Amino acid sequence: MREVKILFESYNEVTQNEAGGVAIKIRLLQQYLSKFADVKLFDKWNDSFLETDIIHLFMPTVQNLNTFKLAKKLGKKVVVSAIATPEKKRKMIAKRIINKFLNEKSPYYAKQYIFTNSDYIITETDLEKKFIVSCYGVQENRVMVIPNGVTISEVEIDPQYFKNKTGIENGFVLQVGRFDRNKNQLSTIKAINGTELKLVLIGGPDKDDMDYYEACKKAAGKNVTFLGWVNHDDPLLYSAYKSCHTFILPSFHEILGNAMIEAAALGANVVVTNALPVSEWGIEDLCLTIDPHNVTDIRNKLLESLKKEKDSLLERRIKELFSWDSVVDQHLEVYKKVLRCEL
Distances (CA, A) of 91 to 88, 108, 209, 236: 5, 11, 22, 40
Upper half-sphere CA count for residue 84 (Cβ side, 13 Å): 32
For residue 199, give the 3-state DSSP assignment.
strand
Q: Taking residues 102-121, report their average pLDDT.
A: 86
The pLDDT value given to residue 19: 60
For residue 56, give the 3-state DSSP assignment.
strand
Distance CA 138, CA 264 (A): 33
Answer with the residue of higher pLDDT: 60 or 155. 60
Residue 7 has pLDDT above 80, yes or no: yes
Domains in the chain: boundaries: 5-149+323-339, 154-321
Residue 18 has pLDDT above 70, yes or no: no
Q: Taking residues 292-315, report their average pLDDT.
A: 94
Which of the four pLDDT bands, split at 50, 70 and 90, describes residue 340? confident
Which of the four pLDDT bands, split at 50, 70 and 90, describes residue 106? confident
Which of the four pLDDT bands, split at 50, 70 and 90, describes residue 109? confident
Which of the four pLDDT bands, split at 50, 70 and 90, describes residue 24? confident
Whether the domain at 5-149+323-339 and the domain at 154-321 fall into the same CATH topology = yes
Which of the four pLDDT bands, split at 50, 70 and 90, describes residue 258? confident
Which of 52, 51, 50, 56 lies closest to 73, judged by CA? 50
Upper half-sphere CA count for residue 74 (Cβ side, 13 Å): 17
Q: Rounded to the nearest 10 degrees, how much is the dihedral formed by the CA atoms of 160, 249, 177, 224?
A: -60
The percent of residues above 90 in pLDDT, for the chain, comes to 66
Distance CA 147, CA 33 (A): 15
Which of 281, 305, 249, 286 lies closest to 146, judged by CA? 281
Least confident range of 52-56, 159-163, 209-213, 302-306: 159-163
CB 161 within 8 A of CB 235: yes
Quickly name the fold that domain 5-149+323-339 has: Rossmann fold (3.40.50)
Pick from 96-105, 181-190, 255-264 the range whose average pLDDT is largest: 181-190
**Could you tell me which residues come within 8 angstroms of residue 52 by beta carbon, excluding any fewer than 6 positions away?**
5, 6, 7, 76
Phi, psi of 148 (to 5 degrees): -75, 160
CB 282 within 8 A of CB 178: no
The pLDDT value given to residue 1: 40
Distance CA 191, CA 290 (A): 12
Q: H helices of the chain, where? A: 21-33, 65-73, 89-102, 107-117, 126-136, 159-166, 185-192, 210-219, 235-243, 258-265, 295-307, 312-321, 324-339
CB 22 within 8 A of CB 14: yes
Q: What is the pLDDT of residues 216-236, one digit of tens each?
A: 999 999 999 999 999 888 999
- Pairing verdict, β 120-123 and 143-145: parallel
Which of 72, 139, 136, 75 lies closest to 110, judged by CA? 136
Distance CA 266, CA 243 (A): 9
Domain 154-321 annotated CATH 3.40.50.2000: yes
Residue 137 has pLDDT above 80, yes or no: yes
The pTM score is 0.79
Residue 131 has pLDDT above 80, yes or no: yes
Q: What share of the chain is helix, strand, coil (3-state, %, to 5)?
A: 45, 15, 40
Least confident range of 13-27, 65-79, 190-204, 264-278: 13-27
The pLDDT value given to residue 70: 96
Q: What is the pLDDT of residues 32-91, one digit of tens each?
A: 999 999 999 999 999 999 999 999 999 999 999 999 999 999 999 999 999 887 776 666
**How does the average pLDDT of the chain come out, rounded?**
90
Answer with the residue of higher pLDDT: 102 or 267. 267
Which of the four pLDDT bands, split at 50, 70 and 90, describes residue 205? very high
Q: Taking residues 122-130, report their average pLDDT.
A: 92
The pLDDT value given to residue 88: 66
The pLDDT value given to residue 188: 98
Pick from 62-71, 147-156, 311-320 the range whose average pLDDT is largest: 62-71
For residue 172, give the 3-state DSSP assignment.
coil
Q: Taking residues 193-220, report their average pLDDT.
A: 94
